[in-house]
Amino acid sequence: MSFAALGLSEEIVRAVTERGYTEPTPIQAQAIPVVLSGRDLLAGAQTGTGKTAGFTLPILQRLSATTKPASGKAPIRSLILAPTRELAAQIEESVREYGKYLKLHSMMMFGGVNINPQIQKLRGRVDILVATPGRLLDHVQQRTVDLSHIEILVLDEADRMLDMGFIRDIKKILALLPRQRQNLLFSATFPDEIKLLADSMLNKPALVEVARQDATAELITQRVYPVDRERKRELLTHLIKEHNWHQVLVFTRTKHGANRLAEQLGKDGIPALAIHGNKSQAARTRALAEFKSGELQVLVATDIAARGIDIIELPHVVNFELPNVPEDYVHRIGRTGRAGSEGEASSLVCVDEHKLLRDIERLTKREVPVVQVPGFEPDPRIKAEPILNGQNRGQQNRGGGQRSRSQTPARSGGQLGNSRGGAGGGKPAHHRFGGRGR
Ligand code: AMP
């Protein structure tokens, strides 16, 4: 199937072809005709499936088909809400790129940066606005944005927005939109809250769902490396140097842990930077750009900060610490092995984390192969310690203590954990760790 066969215009197909896409992904093949028809859409798809183009392409097409006269102030016609600044920036970049042969104007808006340039930009023409909910409401309050002519609304990564506490903001925003409009809701999981939101905002939606790009993906090689709590950094340095890994995305549970690890890797001679919510937008953008270009070997991130990092063929994801919420493991490793390329997901697991690993394996219904690196065998005398506030005790002693996403309660529901093949979901993980000599 081609993009043209989906009913997209020549200008859009040209831009997509130049981007290097030859065929629509499954979510695109299903979602694009629905959106073009004007229907509401409820889509089950996570990052990595090509969902962004699944909604941006048909929105561009619909808006360009009925371009408003240039005279007078043209209203904002499409609003795309996203949970994080990174995701908003990436969606807007896609809108700009796919719409480069059209006469439509887009804008992104998010918090953490000066509001004045955004106010300035809103005075000009904006057809498509990509925003995070909080900053959009700041503009609403200041009466610097008019949402009364929105024709198409998108909620992207709706489950994440709910997780991050945006539900009230979203409801406030919904109340400001015209009743007559097209609604598209994208979510990776469908807990009850999402179902309620979908019921309240969607009008006879078409349902589209694609297989998750996740732990089941054959393209992702998963490994567990047993190691002592205090020797993780040493092992990580060893693995990166030994295998000459580049573009390594490393996850830690806390912002403090991310900073500290990036610093230590730097001392080991491995260029690394941390990104998380406490960093300025400029610092995050710079780190991402350097990471994408390959200049920066390692990017250390917390779960929230990593949302929306969009890099094709990200080869290595490392769980420096396992997440407390098993679904986060699936999200994390879903950042590798994308769009047909192979990837490796490595987890450094200490004695404190055996239960977390067991929960992950139960969820994904597969056992992750254990690889013991000689010289890093765990010392059997070291006993498990509870992981408090997202940190091991050893780390707490060194300060930090910010609330991390891993402390938020586990999401319920969703499509995780079903229809997975694979061996040995029931075998407790800790039986596979024998300590020294394995
Ligand atoms: P998304 O799920 O929208 O974050 O997209 C995941 C990745 O797939 C992005 O890097 C896109 O650039 C890429 N992508 C999207 N659509 C296609 C396509 N039709 N063919 C190949 N790659 C694509």
pLDDT in tens, 96-107: 999 999 999 999
pLDDT digits (tens, 9 = 90+) for 184-232: 999 988 888 898 999 999 999 999 987 654 444 556 789 999 999 999 9
Highest mean pLDDT of the ranges 77-91, 203-217, 269-283, 377-391 = 77-91
Residue 56 in contact with ligand 1 by CB distance below 6 A: no
What architecture (CATH level 2) is domain 214-428? Answer: 3-Layer(aba) Sandwich (3.40)
Confidence at residue 116, expressed as pLDDT on a 0 to 100 scale? 97
- Which residue(s) pair with 231 in the sheet? none
Task: Evaluate whether 4-210 and 214-428 have a shared fold.
Answer: yes
Protein residue with its CA nearest to atom 23 in ligand 1: 50
Which ligand 1 atom is nearest residue 213's CA?
A: 2
Confidence at residue 313, expressed as pLDDT on a 0 to 100 scale? 59
297 CB-near residues (< 8 Å, 6+ apart): 240, 245, 246, 247, 248, 270, 271, 272
pLDDT category of residue 375 using cuts at 50, 70 and 90: very high
Q: Where in the chain are the domains?
A: 4-210, 214-428
Question: Pick from 246, 247, 295, 302: which is nearest to 274 by CA?
Answer: 302
pLDDT digits (tens, 9 = 90+) for 138-197: 999 999 999 999 999 999 999 989 988 899 999 999 999 999 999 999 998 888 889 899
Sign of torsion, CA 132 137 140 144? negative
Confidence at residue 284, expressed as pLDDT on a 0 to 100 scale? 80
Rg of the chain over Cα atoms, rounded to whole angstroms, equals 22
Question: Pick from 313, 322, 330: which is nearest to 364 by CA?
Answer: 330
Pocket-testing residue among 1, 17, 25, 313, ligand 1, by greatest number of atoms within 8 A of Cβ? 25
Distance from residue 54's CA to the centre of ligand 1 (Å): 9
Confidence at residue 275, expressed as pLDDT on a 0 to 100 scale? 87
3-state DSSP assignment of residue 76: coil
Read off the pLDDT of each residue in 9-33 and give the average, rounded to a whole number: 93
The pLDDT mean for the chain works out to 83
Is domain 4-210 annotated with CATH 3.40.50.300? Answer: yes
Residue 310 in contact with ligand 1 by CB distance below 6 A: yes
pLDDT digits (tens, 9 = 90+) for 277-304: 777 778 888 888 888 888 899 999 988 7
Pocket-testing residue among 52, 184, 214, ligand 1, by greatest number of atoms within 8 A of Cβ? 52
Confidence at residue 118, expressed as pLDDT on a 0 to 100 scale? 97
Q: Burial-class residue 267 by CB neighbours within 10 Å (0-12, 13-18, 19+).
A: exposed
The pLDDT of residue 397 is above 80: no
Length of the chain: 438
> What is the SS3 assignment for 209-262?
ECCCCCCCCCCEEEEEEECCHHHHHHHHHHHHHHHCCCCEEEECCCHHHHHHHH
The pLDDT of residue 430 is above 60: no
Percent of the chain beyond pLDDT 70?
82
* Pairing between β-strand 78-81 and β-strand 128-131 as defined by DSSP bridges: parallel
Residue 273 in contact with ligand 1 by CB distance below 6 A: no
Alpha carbon 376 to chain centroid, angstroms:
32
Residue 85 in contact with ligand 1 by CB distance below 6 A: no
Percent of the chain as helix, strand, coil, to the nearest 5: 40, 15, 45
The pTM for the full model equals 0.58
DSSP E strands, 94-219: 106-109, 128-131, 152-155, 182-187, 206-209
Residue 388 in contact with ligand 1 by CB distance below 6 A: no
- Can you tell me the distance from the alpha carbon of 13 to that of 19, in angstroms, rounded to the nearest whole number? 10
Distance from residue 5's CA to the centre of ligand 1 (Å): 18
The pLDDT of residue 234 is above 90: yes
